[in-house]
Amino acid sequence: MRTYLKLCLPAYKKTEQAFWALSCMPLTGKNTWPRYCCLNVNGMEVLVAGVEKQTKQLFSFVVIAKGLFTGSDKRRI
């Protein structure tokens, strides 16, 4: 989470709450896919982490730009 904040959010210390917000244990999907955290930028979820309730399988998704990858990594996007 810290790495995403530092590398992907412009002026993260100055824009907190005005531009982005981090929620701990949001209630979204609590009966099936409970979340540990959710990072929103202007209302868009850009980073979510949680667990699938039935199987206990961890999950996460993140929104990033292709420009963060170098070399051969770009071919996998």
What pLDDT score does 67 carry? 64
What pLDDT score does 3 carry? 86
Q: Specify burial of residue 10 (Cβ count, 10 A radius: 0-12, 13-18, 19+).
A: exposed
This prediction has a pTM of: 0.70
What pLDDT score does 49 carry? 92
Domain ranges of the chain: 2-65
∠ CA 30-32-42, nearest 5°, is 55
Paired tokens of 70: 């170098």
* CA nearest to 62, candidates 29, 38, 33: 38
Question: For every one of its 77 residues, what pLDDT tens digit does the chain have, with 9 covering 90 and above?
Answer: 888 888 888 888 888 888 888 888 888 888 888 999 999 988 888 999 999 989 999 998 888 766 656 655 444 44
